Homo-oligomer: A and B are copies of this chain.
Amino acid sequence: MVIIMKANASQEDINEIVKAIEKYGLKPHISKGEEQSIIGVIGDRRSLGDISFDHLAGVEKVVPIIKPYKLVGREIKKYNTEIDINGVVIGGNKIAVIAGPCAIENKEMLMEAAHALSSIGIKILRGGAFKPRTSPYSFQGLGVKGLEYLREAGDKYGMRVVTEVLDPRDAGVVAEYADIIQIGTRNMQNFRLLEEAGRMNKPILLKRGMSATIKEFLMSAEYIMAQGNEKIILCERGIRTFETESRNSLDITSVPLLKLFTHLPVIVDPSHAAGRIDIINPISRAAVAAGADGLMIEVHPHPENALCDGPQSLRPEMMTGLLKEISLIANAINRTL
């Protein structure tokens, strides 16, 4: 931690701060500048707990220097975490592709989607049973009935299944049916839900909040890992900006940054970033080229009838072309699909 003093801070101000630092068993290093002084604080800042120095007289600002996350950081683990979901690995050399409808609307539609997707080689099926909708009047999902359909589809077509949990009270039932449990954008800082996820024995797919910084995203993963669950898949899904042509702006920069900062796998959801199907292919290629370990794509057998996210859902037959494009990009960086 570095404490930067105001230009007009007095020697007494500095003495007070030195005293405060030493009280916590840390060692201050003072550098007196011509205009301003700075005080470096040596020792594990974490021993300070939450104490803040911003409020002391003469302090201009406090600059933390140690990263706030530990368990998810590259410093603690150099090599990539690979997550094995009954033989399907996320975070290894192969690019993982997750696909399926936004919401499970009924059994027939889900089976149709699963059939189509499994027949072109997709191994992980997504589908929402509990849906976080902006409006209370929108379709909220089929709940446990949806989970049953999803499990049945997964079993019938040999696919792993991923679905979202919204409520810590549903954690048990969701874990019973799902292979991967998603925590959505709107719940990225639902800390009790994160803790619940941390106590599960299932991989967690954590989506970035729509205006979360990369640091906050990693801190939310840290919440999960601090409870003992090390199987976390991070998912960039676009951030909120001023642009309105796309639903969100895919923060492609976050992909290599996350790969620098953390050992966890990073996937990309181009569907929610784009909000429209006509650019799904190029941004999917970009995501893989940037180093993403996988993609999560919304696919609906009949998007025109979708109860949710129709405008951004591909038809299953569009997936064939997309997979081919992604495969070529993957090969160009020595990875495979």
Contacts and interface: CB of A to CB of B under 8 A. Distances in A.
Interface of A: 2, 4, 7, 20, 29-36, 38, 40, 42-44, 46, 49-52, 54-56, 60, 63, 65-66, 68-69, 75, 132-139, 166-169, 186-187, 189-192, 195, 210-211, 213-216, 219, 222-223, 226, 238-246, 249-257, 259-260, 273-274, 278-279, 281-283, 285-291, 303-308, 310-311, 313, 325, 328-329, 331-333
Given A35-B44, A50-B308, A189-B132, A257 B245 contact: yes
A254 to B, nearest CB: 7
Given A38-B40, A189-B134, A249-B253, A65 B279 contact: no
Given A240-B242, A241-B241, 6 more contacts: A49-B307, A68-B134, A136-B222, A250-B252, A328-B332, A331-B332
A93 B254 CA distance: 29
A322 to B, nearest CB: 13
Contact of A286 (B69, B223, B287): B287
A59 to B, nearest CB: 9
Contacts of A285: 289-290, 333
Contacts of A289: 282, 285-286, 288-290, 329
A169 B134 CA distance: 22
Nearest to A214: B245
B241 A36 contact: no
A215 B40 contact: no
Contacts of A32: 42
A40 B40 contact: yes
Contacts of A279: 253, 256-257, 260
A242 B210 CA distance: 11
A128 to B, nearest CB: 13
Nearest to A5: B65
A246 B258 CA distance: 12
A262 B33 CA distance: 23
